[in-house]
């Protein structure tokens, strides 16, 4: 078996993992190499283990990496990888499932924060609204989950966790999935019109699907207008699934509709907390600064799973979570 | 069977309920009577159906209600009732269980809001902290519920709902209860030292017990110091269970410890959003303005249950949820 050359560009991978990987490959860390040596190594590199796509891997550099065959991500999403430049023979693996538990919990934290109006009423009290009478009527917009319907868009690891928690709260769960057709107590919808009918029938909706050329901007003005007037929409996947301008307009015009997110829109290929519209000035917007993922990283699971999958590749086994590349030929500039 | 005289002081009771009650009693509404007529009626009244204790029922008025034998509350708590003045022969019934579902959900909304740092990170972004780098380390204080321990103090209807939701999130649940000894997947603790050991062993604690002379101020400096450094304490019962000064000091000195509440302290016998200390200026304090209860009222369940129990009394049956009066001889001024 030929010996692989693996380059690790993430500091999250610890030394014990490096030792395990060394049994099947020559392993280098980009952070430990001088610029000149790194350039030499890149020409020999056939496998990459990365977190966010490293800046030194420009399109030009990538074109010189003739031997590259495999990329394993530590993040769950792979939308940051420049697929357009990447030769077809390179297999890209996501880290699907590695963040499901923590991100699913965070999704429910956002859902309940918006459903129970925690952020806006807390801030009203903090700003000096201290007469209980002023909060009369607040409860009209409080969503009691029991007996209501939860729509889950995308039924991967995170979607399944969210659906399970929804069931625990006594919710009926509808899920939109391309591939999954069964899940305990979950009604699956698919095909043309499925998204609109899911939105129309759900009191709370969680977006838990990857950002691809099929999903970018999939929630626009039309979809928002199909949703219930007082629904709670939670985004735990990627900001760009939702059309920013359409969302702002919808939130402004429908004060009972709520959007709660941990993910933000891309600007120049990078997620940014700076938005085109003043979302945080709206009481029906809740946003956390993409903090759901790091919690999972802290558990060690994402690195462990990414290392395991890299080992599968190095040992000549079929790696898991191979990405359907055709869906990622997006035009985001990196 | 003698005909009862029932006075209703809450506008929440609808006309169809009044019709049902009229089959067994002469029914009057305080809001529909002139002052003079009301004074006459009060002398004949033997049963009261109330929400919050009405202001016109002063101690002096109460002393003149020689025939009063029964009070049914629509609220779950009865701590607003002036037990000191109330003759011993008056039976007081709470509305325990009527709010469990909605208040239990709200408790979990507060728990997750604080556990996932939704409010403080949202507000940081809103105030212009828009560089992701500034949020590095935030995840250290994010509590992942799965595999952690939830302590439930008070295991009535609300406590049971909270415990069930905790189990759904994969938490181990410990409960402190005087009367209950079993609950699915719940470990019960009791007796001397039980509260301290529950606090010491829990990553999140929910207070779900009534305010009585046994529970007032039960969470003070000693109890707070027994809790985990980075625990989340949720109060869904009454503000005065927690010592205000001790809590403020604890939150100020332990920034990883969090307190999330829907209930506030009493001032002159009334709950108020005005606090003695600037809690809302602390990032580790989350407070909603007592909005969990009204959501339950909107369901119609609290009024329905209170009316059913009043009917039991009027029909000569043993009413449910009779309050142990000795525990309510508190010194709050109404």
Max CA distance (Å), chain B: 75
Q: How far is CA B223 from CA B194, B199, B206, B226, B286, in A?
A: 11, 7, 14, 5, 20
Neighbours of A161 (CB within 10 A): 24
Kindly list the residues from chain A whose CB atom is less than 8 angstroms away from the CB atom of residue B101.
144, 146
Alpha carbon distance A332, B160 (integer Å): 49
Q: Residues A211-252: pLDDT tens digits? A: 998 999 999 999 999 999 999 999 999 999 999 999 999 999
In percent, the amount of chain B with pLDDT more than 70 equals 98
Distance between B164 CA and the closest CA of chain A, angstroms: 8
pTM: 0.91
- Smallest Cβ–Cβ distance between A113 and the set B112, B142, B169 belongs to B112
Kindly list the residues from chain B whose CB atom is less than 8 angstroms away from the CB atom of residue A141.
none
Mutate to test the interface with A, among B119, B148, B278 (most CBs of A within 10 A): B119
Phi, psi values for residue B206, rounded to 5°: -115, 125
Query: Where residue B268 falls among pLDDT bands split at 50, 70, 90?
Result: confident
Average pLDDT score, chain A? 94
Radius of gyration of chain A measured on its C-alpha atoms: 22
Query: What contacts B153, CB < 8 A, 6 or more positions away?
Result: B159, B175, B176, B195, B198, B205, B206, B207, B208, B209
Looking at the DSSP assignment, which residues form a beta bridge with residue A287?
A261
Query: Where residue A330 falls among pLDDT bands split at 50, 70, 90?
Result: low
Q: Test A124 with B289 for CB contact under 8 angstroms.
A: yes
Query: Where residue B244 falls among pLDDT bands split at 50, 70, 90?
Result: very high
Kindly list the residues from chain A whose CB atom is less than 8 angstroms away from the CB atom of residue B292.
116
Tokens of B286: 């989350």
pLDDT of residue A162: 97
Q: What angle do CA A183, A186, A191 make, to 5 degrees?
A: 95
Q: Residues B309-318: pLDDT tens digits? A: 999 999 999 9
Q: Test B142 with A291 for CB contact under 8 angstroms.
A: yes
- Smallest Cβ–Cβ distance between B139 and the set A121, A129, A294 belongs to A294
- Interval B178-206 mean pLDDT: 91
Q: Residues A4-47: pLDDT tens digits? A: 999 999 999 999 999 999 999 999 999 999 999 999 999 999 99
ipTM greater than 0.85: yes
Tokens of B208: 């779900």
Radius of gyration of chain B measured on its C-alpha atoms: 22
Kindly list the residues from chain B whose CB atom is less than 8 angstroms away from the CB atom of residue A286.
118, 122
pLDDT at B192 over 50: yes
- Interval B129-157 mean pLDDT: 93
State the burial class of residue B20 (Cβ atoms within 10 Å of its Cβ: 0-12, 13-18, 19+). middle
């Amino acid at each position: 078996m030929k010996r692989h050359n693996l380059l690790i560009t993430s500091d999250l991978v610890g030394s014990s993992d490096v030792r395990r990987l060394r049994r099947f490959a020559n392993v280098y860390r980009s952070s430990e190499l001088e610029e000149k040596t790194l350039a030499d190594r890149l020409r020999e590199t056939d496998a990459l283990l990365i977190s966010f796509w490293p800046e030194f891997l420009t399109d030009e550099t990538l074109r010189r990496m003739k031997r590259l065959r495999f990329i394993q991500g530590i993040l769950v999403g792979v939308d940051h990888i420049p697929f357009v430049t990447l030769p077809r023979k390179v297999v890209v693996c996501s880290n699907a499932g590695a963040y499901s538990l923590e991100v699913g919990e965070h999704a429910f934290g956002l859902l309940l924060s918006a459903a129970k109006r925690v952020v806006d009423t807390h801030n009203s009290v903090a700003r000096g609204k201290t007469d209980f009478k002023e909060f009369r009527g607040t409860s009209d917009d409080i969503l009691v989950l029991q007996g209501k319907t939860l729509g889950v868009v995308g039924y991967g690891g995170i979607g399944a966790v969210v659906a399970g928690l929804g069931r625990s709260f006594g919710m009926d769960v509808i899920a939109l999935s391309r591939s999954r057709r069964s899940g305990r107590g979950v009604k699956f919808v698919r095909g043309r019109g499925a998204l609109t009918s899911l939105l129309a029938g759900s009191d709370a909706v969680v977006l838990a699907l990857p950002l691809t050329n099929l999903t970018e901007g999939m929630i626009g003005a039309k979809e928002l207008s199909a949703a219930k007037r007082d629904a709670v929409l939670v985004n735990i996947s990627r900001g760009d699934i939702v059309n920013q301008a359409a969302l702002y307009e919808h939130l402004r015009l429908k004060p009972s509709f709520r959007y709660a997110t941990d993910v933000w829109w891309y600007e120049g290929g990078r997620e940014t907390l700076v938005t085109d519209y003043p979302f945080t000035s709206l009481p029906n917007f809740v946003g956390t600064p993409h903090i759901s993922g790091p919690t999972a990283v802290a558990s060690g699971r994402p690195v462990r799973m990414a290392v395991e999958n890299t080992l599968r590749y190095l040992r000549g086994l079929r790696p898991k979570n191979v990405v359907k590349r055709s869906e990622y030929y997006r035009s985001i500039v990196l």
